[in-house]
Amino acid sequence: MKTAIILVIVAVGSVLFHLLSPWWWTPIASNWAYIDHTISLTFWITGAVFVAVVLFMAYCIFRFHHTPDRQAAYEPENKKLEAWLTVATAIGVAAMLAPGLFVWGQFVTVPKGATELEIVGQQWQWSYRLPGKDGKLATTYTSLISPENPLGINPSDPAGRDDLVVEGGEVHLPLGKPVKMLLRSVDVLHDFYVPEFRAKMDIIPDMVTYFWITPTRTGTFDVLCAELCGVGHHIMRGKVVIDNETDYRAWLEQQKTFAELTTPIRKAEGETAPLPAAQ
Amino acid sequence: MVDATHGGMGTIPAAEVPDVELYHPHSWIEKYVFSQDAKYIAIQYSITALAIGLVALVLSWLIRLQLGFPGVFTFIDADHYYQFITMHGMIMVIYLLTALFLGGFGNYLIPLMIGARDMVFPFVNMLSYWVYLLAVLVLAASFFMPGGPTGAGWTLYPPQAILSGTPGQQWGIILMLISLIIFIIGFTMGGLNYVVTVLQARARGMTLMRMPLTVWGIFTATILALLAFPALLVANIMMLFDKLLGTSFFMPAIVELGQQMSYRGGSPILFQHLFWFFGHPEVYIVALPAFGIVSDLIATHARRNIFGYRMMVWAIVAIAALSFVVWAHHMYVSGMNPNFGFFFATTTLIIAIPTAIKVYNWILTLWRGNIHLNVPMLFALGFIVTFVNGGLSGLFLGNVVVDVPLSDTMFVVAHFHMVMGVAPIMVIFGAIYHWYPKITGRMMDEGLGKFHFWVTFLGAYLIYFPMHYLGLLGVPRRYHDLGTTDFIPPNVATLNEFITVMALIVGFAQMVFLYNLFTSVWKGKLAGGNPWRATTLEWQTPQTPPAHGNFGKDLPVVYRWAYDYSVPGAKEDFIPQNQPPSAATA
Ligand code: HEM
Ligand SMILES: [Cu+2]
Ligand SMILES: [Cu+2]
């Protein structure tokens, strides 16, 4: 009896905790509300199953606990019941998987016309690069990275001169415009993680990964690293600011181009430097 | 197939089992130290696993102290913190759970339950334990080397694992890789033994479809392990080459803290595929023995046949097969081709179906049973609750797009602890209380056992259930210190303190368990040969604890399946597997 009651408390208590506790997701700031809906749906389906299973166990313990004159039933199998349960489970699983895959389809399809933002992770800070007036990012090579050229931008690539480089600070994004984040690392794995965006992706050295979002509300949000990257993993922080159009323009104006950041001498050297072997 | 349940001798092929030539010990050392008796080897495995597991438990307190009271315990700096979580995770998964389920329970139960005298290769079996011990010692040695053990996380992802930004990059990572390689060698020796023994040494009449589910679980898990561990083995060897010889299997061009390195062209993602090709089946290497054992605990203590035995066997086999095509669900946000997401989400959610069938059959075994709420049964119930909880949160993480916000947060930590930490450990405890009387001849103390159960079960639930919500909020995992953020409210610190206090309480309850485990060897009530009135062969041995050779002069002959409990018209509420049909009814 005691055991059955405790199990009921576990089931009911879990539901009450879910409904009443103050811990819940942070308000969303991107277009991925779909993901939140899929999580909600999954909570409902799995919650119902959990409560049903635990309450059924409690009932069994209450109803069929040992007494001297009790005899258990002998029933090796019940094909009909087992088939019925299998089909019901398959339906429940499909009900979660179908919307999940549908939203994943959107997640992996970057809308045409998305602007690009390059995010570079290194132990243990974030840097960013935006295409300049030409709308194009220059090629980069890990082997070109040096104190003067921390992002390894190819100096011989004409698209690179106007690229805007933002080191260590905060980055701004315009409200309501889809952005494709191009993720690059110079050393180990990192993961660009802004809880309010819902989306995240690992960053891999010598490779470019991506995800996309459309910011849906202005504000300043924490950037964290979500892939263990050494002892400084937990201090690899940054800020991303979502601006309206005018604030964003004003911020853009202040950013330095690659050409401005490299001294004229370096630049002259760079222009004659041979391209590294393609990797 | 009707005889899967009611066994008439006529319908089964009489497989003649040749008696194994036993190697009898000639000296004290051969009997107690270099024993070739699977039962001794099992105990050696279990004690070693529990001892190193205790280290992992203490590490979990230190981790929790830092998370609950950041800044108070200044000796837990970031270096130490990452070393602690890495060693905690690796020890728990490999050196405790895998070793205990397969080396411990596998060795003890397989020969006894299938009616064999011993494993078929006793010498290799003995070697397997000593190689395992060596692996444990190499791992433990890394605590004492310059730089300490590795802090690369239990997943050991390169490039980070072998670079200088990670603690333990001098010796720690090398010893970790070597220890794992040794472990795999030792496991392979034992594993081949378990498989061949099950296939070749079953008693007359013990058809595969009459084997207790415990044997099915361990047998299938061993096959999984034999197929999965090689992936880890090659990954470890290649990483060792990258570290020691400067090869570039997993290392692309990298700039480490401002310095260009000479690595070129390796693939960090390749390591992740190899790791999880092993790592996902590993979950089932731990889970399948637990599934099997818990089925037998429930049937025995509910005095009822396991519901849908054949379905249970097929579910085990289906889960095992599927577990090789879901690995990349650990890599949804790894940067692999995102189109893999569609495939792996689908296979992952399909695996939920046979898993759910197992859960239904466990609870349907309770239904219309005659439930004895003794300690093994309580732990079995605790297993069902935590396993269902952890399995259901797996449906979040398996559904690719839902995993995106939750991956690498405390939600994941809560999920895997519930499903492969707490749940299998519940089974381990239940199994220890259940088989202890066979192993020692005495019962463990029931009162202490119940105390141990309630504190562990409720405590663990209170640790991990709320933790999901921290992850949902966005609290990342593997964070030495949360620092200040805008999105984490101050009440998160309160919840973290609460979780830490619960973890310490649960830890204390394990000391009560250890006390009970050791003192019952001489203080426990005498048990007799079959205290639970169980049907399986290990309870029908002429001596308790069973002598070398297990079954005295003649091997048992099996006439029925393992679940003849409460058969209508029978004299008793159980009929041992070796009882001939004529003697069973009144
Ligand atoms: C009551 C006992 C336990 C407690 C209190 C505990 C606590 C913890 C904590 C606090 C972490 C670090 C989470 C983080 O990333 O911030 C952790 C990690 C981990 N634990 Fe446990 N744990 C326990 C038992 C277990 C068991 C039985 C297993 C076996 C599966 C296990 C496997 C792991 C693994 C694999 C990790 C991940 C390590 C990593 O991130 O590299 N733990 N545990
Ligand atoms: Cu990181
Ligand atoms: Cu997995």
Per residue in A156-169, pLDDT (tens digit) is 888 888 899 998 77
- C-alpha distances in angstroms, A63 versus A66, A131, B374, B419, B512? 9, 70, 16, 28, 32
Residue window 94-153, chain A: list those with CB within 8 Å of chain B: 96-97, 100-101, 103-105, 107-108, 122-124, 142-143, 145, 147, 152
Verify whether ligand 1 is closer than 6 Å to residue B92 (CB atom): yes
CB atoms B469 and A38 under 8 Å: no
Verify whether ligand 1 is closer than 6 Å to residue B413 (CB atom): yes
User: B131 near B182, Cβ under 8 Å?
Assistant: yes
User: B187 near B95, Cβ under 8 Å?
Assistant: no
How far apart CA B438 and CA B435 sit, in angstroms, is 5
Bigger pLDDT: A134 vs B309: B309
Per residue in B102-118, pLDDT (tens digit) is 999 999 999 999 999 99
DSSP state of B261: P
How far apart CA B166 and CA B152 sit, in angstroms, is 6
B430-453: average pLDDT: 96
* CATH number belonging to domain B34-248+267-580: 1.20.210.10
Which pLDDT belongs to residue B9?
Answer: 43
pLDDT beyond 90 at B537: yes
Separation in Å, CA of B260 to nearest CA in chain A: 7
DSSP state of B18: P
Q: What mean pLDDT, rounded, does chain A reach?
A: 90
Per residue in B273-290, pLDDT (tens digit) is 999 999 999 999 999 999
How far apart CA B288 and CA B299 sit, in angstroms, is 17
CB atoms B404 and A209 under 8 Å: no
- C-alpha distances in angstroms, B321 versus B49, B195, B317? 28, 16, 6
pLDDT beyond 60 at A47: yes
Contacts of B61 (CB under 8 A, 6+ apart): B503, B504, B507
**Using a CB-CB distance cutoff of 8 angstroms, which residues of chain B are in contact with residue A26?**
473-474, 487
Which pLDDT belongs to residue B213?
Answer: 97
Where does B367-484 have alpha helices with state H? 375-398, 400-406, 410-416, 423-440, 446-473
pLDDT band at B427 (very low <50, low <70, confident <90, very high): very high
Nearest to B304 by CA among A185, A65, A29: A65
Q: In sequence order, what DSSP letters do the residues of B277-331 get, joined into one string? A: HHHHHHHHHHHHHHHHHHHHHHHHHTTSPPTTHHHHHHHHHHHHHHTTS-GGGG-
- Token code pair at residue A117: 């933002």
Nearest to B381 by CA among A62, A93, A92, A73: A62
Mutate to test the pocket of ligand 1, among B64, B80, B81, B85 (most ligand atoms within 8 A of CB): B85
Q: Relative to the alpha carbon of A187, which ligand is closest?
A: 2
pLDDT beyond 80 at A268: no
User: B136 near B231, Cβ under 8 Å?
Assistant: no
Verify whether ligand 1 is closer than 6 Å to residue B88 (CB atom): yes
CB atoms A279 and B567 under 8 Å: no
- C-alpha distances in angstroms, B37 versus B103, B518, B529? 13, 22, 20
Compute the count of residue pairs across chains A and B with CB atoms less than 8 Å apart: 325
pLDDT band at B323 (very low <50, low <70, confident <90, very high): very high
Verify whether ligand 1 is closer than 6 Å to residue B417 (CB atom): yes
Instruction: Say how many C-beta atoms besides its own lie within 10 A of residue A241's C-beta.
Output: 16
CB atoms A224 and B485 under 8 Å: yes
ipTM field: 0.92
Residue window 40-99, chain A: list those with CB within 8 Å of chain B: 42, 45-46, 49-50, 53-54, 56-57, 60-61, 64-67, 70-78, 81-82, 85-86, 89-90, 93, 96-97
Per residue in B355-376, pLDDT (tens digit) is 999 999 999 999 999 999 999 9
B146-161: average pLDDT: 95
**Using a CB-CB distance cutoff of 8 angstroms, which residues of chain B are in contact with residue A23?**
466, 469-470, 472-473, 491-492, 495
User: B124 near B165, Cβ under 8 Å?
Assistant: no
How far apart CA B149 and CA B169 sit, in angstroms, is 8
> What is the amino acid identity at position B473?
L
Residue B251 exposed, middle or buried by CB count within 10 Å (0-12, 13-18, 19+): buried
Verify whether ligand 1 is closer than 6 Å to residue B290 (CB atom): no
A10-19: average pLDDT: 97
pLDDT beyond 60 at B54: yes
Apex B159 CA angle, B155 and B165, nearest 5: 95
Per residue in B164-219, pLDDT (tens digit) is 999 999 999 999 999 999 999 999 999 999 999 999 999 999 999 999 999 999 99
Nearest CA in chain A to B568: A74
Which pLDDT belongs to residue B188?
Answer: 96
Apex B187 CA angle, B183 and B189, nearest 5: 125
A190-193/A200-203 β-pairing: antiparallel
- C-alpha distances in angstroms, B582 versus B561, B562, B570, B575? 15, 17, 11, 11
pLDDT beyond 50 at B586: no
How far apart CA B283 and CA B564 sit, in angstroms, is 31
How far apart CA B222 and CA B438 sit, in angstroms, is 24
Per residue in A208-225, pLDDT (tens digit) is 999 999 999 999 999 999
How far apart CA A55 and CA B265 sit, in angstroms, is 55
pLDDT band at B18 (very low <50, low <70, confident <90, very high): low
pLDDT beyond 50 at B148: yes
Tell me the domain boundaries of chain A.
2-64+78-107, 115-268
Nearest to B550 by CA among B579, B528, B580, B529: B529
CB atoms B353 and A93 under 8 Å: yes
Q: What is the dihedral of CA B557, B559, B560, B561, to 10 degrees?
A: 30
B414-441: average pLDDT: 96
Q: Whose CA is nearest to atom 29 of ligand 1?
A: B421
How far apart CA B15 and CA B144 sit, in angstroms, is 53
How far apart CA B141 and CA A256 sit, in angstroms, is 52
Which pLDDT belongs to residue B29?
Answer: 84
**Using a CB-CB distance cutoff of 8 angstroms, which residues of chain A are in contact with residue B260?**
143, 145
How far apart CA B93 and CA B91 sit, in angstroms, is 6
Q: What interhelical angle do B375-398 and B268-301 show, nearest 10?
A: 150
Q: What are phi and psi of B560, to 5 degrees?
A: -155, 170
Say which residue the tokens 């054949």 belong to: B310
Which pLDDT belongs to residue B1?
Answer: 34
Instruction: Say how many C-beta atoms besides its own lie within 10 A of residue A219's C-beta.
Output: 14
Nearest to B557 by CA among B220, B141, B207: B207
Task: Give the number of the atom of ligand 1 that is nearest the alpha carbon of residue B153.
Answer: 41
pLDDT beyond 50 at B262: yes
C-alpha Rg value of chain B to the nearest Å? 24
pLDDT band at A193 (very low <50, low <70, confident <90, very high): very high
Return residues with CB closer than 5 A to ligand 2 (ion): A 190, 225, 229, 233
- Token code pair at residue A158: 């004409």
Contacts of B309 (CB under 8 A, 6+ apart): A76, A77, B4, B5, B209, B213, B561, B563
pLDDT beyond 50 at B226: yes
**Using a CB-CB distance cutoff of 8 angstroms, which residues of chain B are in contact with residue A93?**
349-350, 352-353, 395
- Token code pair at residue B14: 């009489």
Per residue in B22-35, pLDDT (tens digit) is 777 888 888 888 89
Q: Relative to the alpha carbon of B277, which ligand is closest?
A: 3
Q: In sequence order, what DSSP letters do the residues of B529-568 get, joined into one string? A: S-TT---SGGGG-SSSSPPTTSSSSS--B--S-TT-BS-T
Ligand 3: distance of its center to the CA of B266 in Å?
24
Ligand 3: distance of its center to the CA of B585 in Å?
47
pLDDT beyond 80 at A85: yes
Verify whether ligand 1 is closer than 6 Å to residue B63 (CB atom): yes
Domain A115-268 classified CATH 3.40.50.920?
no
How far apart CA A211 and CA A221 sit, in angstroms, is 18
Contacts of A104 (CB under 8 A, 6+ apart): B338, B341, B342, B345, B400, B401
B533-551: average pLDDT: 93
Which pLDDT belongs to residue A43?
Answer: 94
pLDDT beyond 70 at B15: no
- Token code pair at residue B54: 């205790």
Apex A44 CA angle, A42 and A47, nearest 5: 100
A20-37: average pLDDT: 94
User: B566 near B584, Cβ under 8 Å?
Assistant: no
Contacts of B260 (CB under 8 A, 6+ apart): A143, A145, B253
Q: Closest CB to B159: pick one of A50, A93, A188.
A: A188
Say which residue the tokens 């994004």 belong to: A173
Mutate to test the pocket of ligand 1, among B55, B88, B90, B418 (most ligand atoms within 8 A of CB): B88
pLDDT-wise least confident of A132-136, B74-78, B478-482: A132-136
Which pLDDT belongs to residue B13?
Answer: 44
Per residue in B84-143, pLDDT (tens digit) is 999 999 999 999 999 999 999 999 999 999 999 999 999 999 999 999 999 999 999 999
- Token code pair at residue B492: 């998160």
Q: Which of A78, A97, A148, A237 to mutate to test the interface with B (most CBs of B within 10 A)?
A: A97
Q: Which of B3, B6, B86, B160 to mutate to test the interface with A (most CBs of A within 10 A)?
A: B160
Separation in Å, CA of B257 to nearest CA in chain A: 7
Q: Relative to the alpha carbon of B101, which ligand is closest?
A: 1
Which pLDDT belongs to residue A76?
Answer: 87
Q: In three state form, how does the secondary structure of chain A look?
A: CHHHHHHHHHHHHHHHHHHHCCCCCCCCCECCHHHHHHHHHHHHHHHHHHHHHHHHHHHHHHHHECCCCCCCCCCCCCHHHHHHHHHHHHHHHHHHHHHHHHHHHHHCCCCCCCEEEEEEEECCEEEEEECCCCCCCCCECHHHCCCCCCCCECCCCHHHCCCEEEECCCEEEECCCCEEEEEEECCCCEEEECHHHCCEEEECECCCEEEEECECCCEEEEEEECCCCCCCHHHCCEEEEEECHHHHHHHHHHCCEHHHHCCHHHHHHHHHCCCCCCC
- Token code pair at residue B277: 């090709």
SS3 B255: strand
Which pLDDT belongs to residue A225?
Answer: 96
B494-523: average pLDDT: 96
Q: What mean pLDDT, rounded, does chain B reach?
A: 93
Bigger pLDDT: A133 vs B124: B124
